[in-house]
Chains A and B, each alone.
Chain A
Amino acid sequence: MNGLLNSFAAMMLFTAMLTGPLHVTRAMADDKLIKVSLQYAAFAPNAGGQITYGFRGLRNNREIAIFQNHYLTAGSEPLLGALYAWRFPICDESCMVHIHTQAGVGVTTAGPLVEFLWGTEIPVLPLALNGGTIRYVPMLRFDIASHWIATRSRLITWSYPFWIGVTLPF
């Protein structure tokens, strides 16, 4: 038990040492923080989930993204898309866990796209204990996304439950 407590204390000390130089003020976070996210895969109604690569960049609560879904195809190729989204923070950069929702529009190789997304970003190190997103500290990103694509013949919807990725704020 003592060993565990000592380990915890050491981790907190280490955290405190790191958070000093890396601390970011809320104003910096709100005005100038840039986030880049890489997404890999999401759950799906089949074993193995769906391989869906995503690359997203965020600044001033505006996000641009490109993605490729290997589960869905347009023609015989994996679905490819790009979008522009507006982010609405529910718990902003000053929170330990950043929670947001987004609405976006874009295009895919199957047709125009509308995206609704709910996301959570969690620092991989407990550095955020002092409050807020810290630059250069990676965050795990978990999204639930809903895509509405107007194809030539019909409107299709597709969900990305627990779309998993990593975010780097800087």
Chain B
Amino acid sequence: MIRTSCLIALLALVGFSCPRPCLAASKWSTATYIGAGTIQQPSSQYFLLAYSASVSLEYRPAKAGVSFVAIGRPVYSSSGYEDQDYGGFAEVQKVVAERGKFAVGAGFGFGQMRGYIKSTDENGGRSDVRMNGPAATIDLRYAAKKDRSFTVKLSHTILPGLSTAAQTKAWVAWPWSVVMLGIGYQT
């Protein structure tokens, strides 16, 4: 307990006592993106409207960092039923190729997708789904401004959801496929 307290105190001391220039802020950048695109449910060939928001922290010298992404789609209602999908994932991301204002980024991580379908009848039932799984993303970025503060990003993510242990043993996975066109601001 004491060790933990000391560690926190030390981190606080380093963080707050250091003059601003020595925070090495230039080596780190943060970015926020919002996007819209399509999502495909597992084994479905329908492209459904979806939206996303993400924040990321990047270590500039390595052009790598972490990204946290939330995705979802609006509730769809038809013929007495409504359904929705939403979820999120965290990824380690890295720029793997760069030419001029364009860059290709790749990410690996882990996340969870949730969804439901329910009857809109008064006594209608509801079925929920919740699956964890790895997430993999490839994206193409375009720096719209010279200082790269404003970026347009086209990304494709696959999140194969794993259900029960029995299903996993039977080689069953439920992949969500997401394509997003986003705009972002980077500090």
Contact = CB atoms under 8 A, between A and B. Distances in A.
| Interface size band for A | 20 to 34
Interface of A: 41-49, 88-90, 99, 101, 103, 116, 118, 144, 146, 154, 156-157, 159, 161-162
Contacts of A48: 170-171
Interface string B164-178: 000100111111010
B138 A101 contact: yes
A44 B96 contact: no
Given A45-B43, A118-B138, A101 B171 contact: no
B152 interface: no
Given A116-B156, A144-B158, A45 B175 contact: yes
A43 B160 contact: yes
Contacts of B133: 161
15 contacts: A42-B171, A43-B160, A44-B172, A47-B167, A88-B96, A88-B97, A88-B106, A90-B96, A101-B96, A118-B138, A118-B158, A144-B136, A144-B158, A159-B158, A161-B173
Nearest to A102: B138
Interface string B24-44: 000000000000000010110
Nearest to A41: B171
A154 B94 CA distance: 33
Interface centre among A42, A48, A161, A162 (most CB of B within 10 A): A161
B104 interface: yes
A103 B106 CA distance: 11
Binding site secondary structure of chain B: strand
Contacts of B42: 45
Interface centre among A48, A99, A159 (most CB of B within 10 A): A159
B134 interface: yes
A118 B97 CA distance: 15
- For the complex of A and B, the 5 pairs showing the least CB-CB separation, nearest first, are A49-B171, A161-B160, A88-B96, A43-B173, A159-B175
B172 A45 contact: yes
Nearest to A143: B136
Contact of B138 (A47, A99, A116, A161): A116
A116 B174 CA distance: 17
Given A43-B171, A44-B171, A161-B173, A118 B136 contact: yes
